[in-house]
Structures are given as C-alpha cells and as structure tokens.
Chains A and B, each alone.
Chain A
Amino acid sequence: MRGESVFSLRRLGAIIAKEFVQMRRDRITFAMMVGIPLIQLCLFGYAINQDPRHLPTALVNADQGPLTRSIAASLQRSGYFDIVDGDLPERDAREALALGEAQFVITVPVDFERDIRRGRVPVLLVEADATDPGATSNAIAALPRIIDLALEREMARRSVESSAGPPRIDVRLHALYNPEAKTSFNIVPGLMGVILTMTMVMITALAMTRERERGTLEMLLSMPPRPLEVLAGKIIPYIFVAYVQIALILMAAKFLFAVPVIGSLPLLLFCAFFFVLANLGMGVTFSTLAKNQLQAVQMAFFFFLPSLLLSGFMFPFRGMPEWAQSIGNALPLTHFLRIVRGVMLKGNGMPEVIPDLWPICVFLVGSMSIAVIRYRQTLD
C-alpha cells in the first residue's frame, strides 16, 4: 500500500477531493467565483456605455451651400453628432477640440458642392479628439454612411446627375484610433480574460496561503503527498471553476449581449486552458511569497491592475506608449484578449492564434517553475 512513487494519483485524488469539499463549504469564495463574472458583465456590459452618442461637433464651413446644410442635418439626425456650432472659423474650431468642447471638427472645403457636381472628389476633413477612442469609434464608423446617405438624398431631390457617375467625397479622418476598439462587442469577450485573471490569481493565492495561516500546512507537510501532488491537487479544481466561468460568460455573451462567436469554440476553450494555467501558476507563486491571506490578495491586485490597464482591455493597446506596450506584452491577459477577440469576432483560426498563444505558454512555464521551486517541503 505504501508505494515509493514520486507521483501518486491516489494522493493527488485525495487533495482534489478535499479541495472540492472545501470549495463547496466556502460560501464567500464561491460567491466570488460566480458573482464577480456576473457583476463585471453587468457593469461593463450595461452600465458603462460603450456607444456614446450626442458628441459635440463643430463645423468649419467654407461652402455654405444646400448640400452642406443637408449633411449637417443628417449628422444631427444620426444621433451621434450634435452640431454645436454650424460655422466656426478654423482657428476657434481647433481650440474647441483642444479644450474638449467639441469631440469632432468637420471641415467643409471651399467649392465643396461645385466640385461634387463636376465629378471631382472633394476632401471632407474630420478631426476627432481621440483621447478616448472608445468614445468616438462608433460615431466614426457611422460617419461615411451618414454622409453618403445625405449626398444621395440631396442629389435625388434635386435630380441632378453628375456627369461622372455617382458623387463621391473623400472623408479624411485625422485621429489616432484603434480599429479593434470599433465595436462594443469588444468588451464582453474581453471580460472573459479579465475575470479569469482576477479570480484565478486571487483564489489560488488565497487557497494556498490559507493552509499556512490556519496551521494546516504543518499537517499537510507531515503527510506523504509531494509538492507536485499538492500543487496539482490545488490547481485542478480551479481549472474546473475556470471553465464554469467561461461557460457563464459565453452564455451571457450570446443571450444577454448577442455577441457572435464567429470562430471555433473548441479552439477558444483550448487556448483558455493555457491562459488559466498561467494565471493559476501566478497565484501559487504569490502564495509562496505571501505571509497571510491579506498579503496574498494585495499581491493578486498588484498583478491584476496592470493586467487590466495595460492589456488593451481598458485602453486601446496601440494607443499606449511603447513602454506600456512592452509591459502589456509581458502579461498573459494581453495575448489572451487578442485570442478571444480574434476567435470570437474575427473568426481567427489556429495559424492566427499561435503568435499570441506561445507568449502565454512561456509565461505559464515561467510562473509554474517559480511556483514549484518556491513551494517548500518544510516549514522554514
């Protein structure tokens, strides 16, 4: 009965069974595992409006013709743009933009209408305050369509046929924006990564530190289970929890927010496995450093905050300075966000996913190695 095995499945089973019972008894942690996803989904999905409308817009109108008036009216009707000033001198418009009084400045060039009638392609300059790309992206996305519609209607009404086919306008956008941040669908898939990071790191860090704090570690260490068995036994139940969370979020994405899943679901679940493990490894590492549960939570937050801020979840990744991007690139969440968004929204397959999967695996190997090395077999 007492094998000399280095790794025993029976001892592993003992720990897994025990963890599951403890998980079931620990109401608060359980509530955290289910509650955090739900609260965050509601907060980010509903409360935080990712489709802002009525953005103040200033016109610099050098043309003043009926067509420009019609375009202005269409912009206003779309709901995205509130024309706060129909005719500003160019200098004042810039200032309004700089001061944040206007989110957009649209400049209509001289001879705009005449150029269209002659079949030329005049430039309509749209300058956007892109400090918060999330705020402007939807309006920007809607802009060409709004202008085209206005144009068509105006031309039809006046039954003017231009000599050179349908009228065209070159809408030129001057703004830094991240094309990936275009849709509010972005947020729900992204939340999957954020929630997994938060709960996985924190819960494992807590679970391990709790043994030390409650004194049960002394008992555990005096029994045969080896470090690897203890670590695996602690981690495996949380992999299960992670998939419950993923299922919860995917269901919310589909039924509450109507987010499409264009790509392969199995691929997504496969990638999630490595991401979850990477975070669990991080949690275990923290637990080997923390003296008590409070410290463990603090460390988990220390990891969670940069993940949240620098991964491209809160702010568009390409909008960040280079140093922030390099930190972001070192975090597994950054890569997982790209994978989830890519698979769910763009229908990415394995080849597109690989460039973001291997950094996660590197992180995973790193965090697990530190965890195993630091996990001690003795009390000192």
Chain B
Amino acid sequence: MAKKLKKVDVVTVGVGWTGGIIAAELTKQGVQVVGLERGKARSTEDFQHVHDEYRYAIRYELMQDLSRETITFRNHRDERALPMRQLGSFLLGEGLGGAGVHWNGQTWRFLPYDFEIKTKTEEKYGPNKLGSDYTLQDWGITYEELDPYFYKFEQMAGISGEDNPKGAPRNNPYPTPPMKETPITKLFKDAAKNKNLHPVHIPSGNLSERYENPDGQTINQCQYCGFCERFGCEYGAKTSPNVTVIPTAKKTGNFELRTHANVTEILYDGSKATGVKYVDLQTGEEFIQPADVVVLTSYVMNNARLLLQAGIGKPYDPETRTGVIGKNYCYQILPGATGFFEDKKFNTYMGAGALGAAVDDYNGDNFDHSKLDFIHGGVLAISQTGQRPINNNVVPNDTPNWGKEFKAQSIKYYHRNLAIGAQGASIPHRNNYLSLDPDYKDVFGFPLLRMTYDFTEQDRKLHDYLSGKCADIMKEMGADIVEPREIKDHYSIVPYQTTHNTGGVIMGADPETSAVNNYLQMWDADNLFVVGASAFAHNGGYNPTGTVGALAYRAAEGIMKYRENKGQLVKAKAASKRA
C-alpha cells in the first residue's frame, strides 16, 4: 500500500529545466515546493572526468534508462507500433537537471509569426495554403505578451548573443556578449553577407564571460572544450538548471528535492488533481504526495503519457479529429549541406555546443511564400560544437561506410568538412499524434506512450528548399564538393536527429482544440499545469528551449495567480470552427 505523505503547496513531476524554473520562481515567493525526479542528483562535481566520447556521447550515460520505460513508435496508423528499444532519434533526459545538463545551449526565441501562425498564414496566403489535413493553430498568446518571459529566462541563464535583424524583436540586449568569432563562423558570415543575408552568432548558453544572474548564481566562462553536446560541463560554464534555478530554489529553504522518485500516476478526482503517486526506486516503496497544485514538468513524452493514463482531458482521435491530449505532436526536419574542402583544414575538434553562426532570412515568414507550396522555414546555421572521432566520419556520398576507402576518406576529410544545417519547422498533421500503446508496458505495468509520426508533404518541400539554400551558402564558402541533404523515405527512430519533440498537450484559446490555456493551466483541471514543449501548437524553425523557458516563467506566474484567485485564469474562447 502506498504511504500517504503530508500535503504540500506544489509538487513538480521531474526536475529539469521546466521543473527547476517552477521550483525557483515559487519558492522565492514563499511557496513550499516538492520536486520529484526519477533520476539521481548531479552537479558540476560529477563532470570532472566527462571527456569520454564513448561513455557519454555513444553509450548515453546521462540519458534515460530505457530498461524501465520507453515509447513505442510507428510511422502510420495501420502499422504495429514497436518499442524504441535503444535511444536514437532523440535523447531523453533523466536525472537532476534533465536534458538541461547535456543540451547544447542554443537559445532562440520563436518568431512572432509562430504564435499566430494560423491567423497570419491565412491573412497573407488565404485559408487553404496547406489543406485541411494540417492542424495548424494559433497558440493563444502573442509574441509581445511573451517577450518579458523570454527575457526572464535569458537573464537567469545568462545567454550570450547579439542583435538579429531577422529574429524576434527584442526590447533588451542579451545579458552577455556573443561567443568568439572563429575562422568557421567568419567564413560562413562572409559567404552569407555576399548573398545579402543577415548572419549573426547563435545565442548561446555556453557563456562568453563569467556572469552572475539576478538570483546571485554564477555561470562561468566557456572554455570551448569540445565536449559539450551530450556532456555535462566541468566548468559550470554551460547554463543548466543545476547551476542556476535548482540552487536558487534550494537557497530559499522552501524546496524539497526527492531524487530516485519515479512518478507513476496523477491522482485525479474528476475535476482536480489531488496529488501524485510515486515509487522510490531505491527502496521500492510507494508514496502518495498530495498537493494543492500539481505541475507536470516531465518533458513532452511523460507530460502526455501521465495525462492519458489518468484520463485527464479528452484523448485525441485522428479519425474523428476530436480530443486534444496527444494532438499536434511535431518534431523537426534537418535540411542541410555538407562541404568538403580539399586544401583547407579547420580546427573542428574545438568547439562549444552553441558556438556558431546563423541566418534567419529563410525562417518563419521572413520570405514570401506566395509562389511556394509550403509555409514557414527554419534557421540555417553552421555550428562548431566539437567534432569527436567516433561520431564524425563524414565522407562524400559515393564512399562506402567501411573498409579501406572509407578509412582513408574519413581520415582525410575529418578536419576538411563543414556542414550548414537548418532546423526546419514542423507543421502539425492530423496523422501525427501521441496515444497510449495497447500492448507494451513500463516496469510498473503502465502502458507506454505510442508515437505515430511520419514526414509530411510540407516537410518534403520545405526540406528541399532549405537544403538548396544551405548548399548555396556552402558553395559561396568555397567548398570543393557540396552535397545537399535529402529527406529520408520515412521518419526513422534510429539515427540521432534532435531532441526537439513538441506538442501533445498544446496551448490555445479554445478548450475544444487545446489542452492548456496560455498559462499552461489545464482547461479540465484548474490546479494542474503542464509545462514544456508539450505546449507548442507546432514546432518553429529553432531549438525549443528559449521558448520552453519563457512558457515556464509564464506558468510560474500563473500558478501564483491561481493560488490567490483559484479557478481558470483565462476565459475560454467560444468553440471555434475547426479546419
């Protein structure tokens, strides 16, 4: 029998970026918060021997242990979904700080266009640009409303950046200047300028200089050590929950962190979430943690799964196109171009997760789509993250992937290849969604989350277009061989792409078509907030966490309001007609 604990003000499920932000903001204002994190505690001290590509980047030491829990996957509704038995396409976080420990730190704001994408697309291109299978929706909030929350996140995290003429407009400068210029970023910027584009340094969470944030936490200066993406930072120079919001919450004395605490159920009485049930993974004991406010901060997958399992909110049904939980799951496409240089070697082994340069000229609606048969776009960037030798054996297309020729070419081009990559926006489609798997279970006997997802026609067209643009810049950079990337026949769960999963518990103005309001408060349970990229109504053309962070600050404010006023914080818009 589960042991019932004393009721607390707020409980969060997971303590990564979103859980950490909620905990810091609320505890600073005197609220008692319990953070339940299924993984172990981690801090900078754990990363002193982290420069090990095999252990961390290949065997995924810091990521989710799939033996307990995974997702199942299929491309189409008429297939049988099978478990993702090994990590691949995306790398789910586990342990204190979540994926915020081993992220790169590229920190963008989504564009004003993103938040009102349906309205703005229809205004400019008419109601039928993509057709009715694409479940495009506004987010129920505007960029102007979100601007202060973006800034809060950037200030807390110390983001290093510069003005971006094609990016979302800013009212404040970045807290720290951009990272260093390198021969690679310079080559890209010069080429982009020659093409009349507007290159900038990538806004970075690997800090250009030592910085103290408004909460008094220090983030150190990045050393460009080349072990960043997939690694924890041995200097405390990569902004992470562990060096910012988690210590801030702890300092207040109002935060109780419980690690090895795996939440298995949200307890729901039909109108409110009364608390959560969790298992202590070290003792096997079960606990019930009652709370006035329950906050899901467990990343996209478990945010959706825990709701589906508890029966909170109506599950999305792609047949009838009704329901909301699991709807608008989106991912990303990765167009790009690789350039091979015969006579030039670059120091690609050096780098930092968010070191690079980018252009937004082909993002959002920054270019005219009247004559194009797709919408949106993506940021085009060259990044210098540190090329390590197991994962980087890039060879021209016609080279085999083993044997004598492979060895020679992969060695030859190791420091002689550069890639420009785009993060292509992902537009929701009625057939891409999350639901519960009918067959496969986690170690506790609960159904796994099932992902049904494939690339769409929109994806293929956008991919072609952006790969072409990347190739144009790469040619201008002087590469001898330029190879644009092609999109695969189907989305595959196997090769790493990005950990930029979005949707499933989306925000909006209308309870018929969205799960949470613009404070990320559930329409169907006033005291339940669901925070993360799960709230994205589509995925924009950037990495998500800048926008996730802004939404988390917004949600924290919502929770404080709810504690005073109770009830729904936003008046629902009358049911709108669905496309």
Is A bound to B?
no
- Point out residues on A near B: beta carbons under 8 Å: none
